[in-house]
């Protein structure tokens, strides 16, 4: 299964953003339970973060990202990339 990366930047204030962090974490846990090998985190020095996960296709990856509570609630802008791993 291909690996995808959502690189995001927060576009709302911290108080608004923090309202959706618990929902985002729950969403990522659901992805893990469904076999998507998801991991999420934030940059220590910047106002953004990353979600890395597996999906069957780019379209499925787009669908997954579109349902992320941080995206649904307009808290981030993001880029979505397929990550072609060369060494594991």
Domains of the chain: 3-83 (3.30.70.1060)
Asked if residue 7 lies in contact with residue 61, where contact means CB atoms within 8 angstroms, the answer is no
Q: What local confidence, expressed as pLDDT, does residue 60 receive? A: 98
In order along its 88 residues, the chain shows pLDDT tens digits of 999 999 999 999 999 999 999 999 999 999 999 999 999 999 988 778 999 999 999 999 999 999 999 999 999 999 999 999 999 8
Could you please report the per-residue DSSP string of 19-82? TTHHHHHHHHHHHHHTT---EEEE-SSSSEEEEEEE-SSHHHHHHHHHT-HHHHTT-EEEEEEE
Q: What is the pLDDT of residue 45?
A: 80
């Amino acid at each position: 299964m291909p690996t995808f990366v959502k690189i995001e930047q927060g576009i709302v204030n911290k108080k608004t953003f923090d309202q959706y962090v618990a929902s985002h974490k729950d969403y990522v846990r659901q992805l893990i339970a469904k076999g998507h090998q998801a991991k999420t985190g934030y940059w220590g020095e910047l106002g953004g973060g990353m979600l890395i996960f597996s999906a069957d296709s780019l379209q499925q990856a787009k669908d997954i990202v579109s349902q992320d509570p941080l995206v649904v609630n307009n808290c981030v802008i993001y880029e979505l990339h397929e990550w072609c791993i060369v060494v594991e």
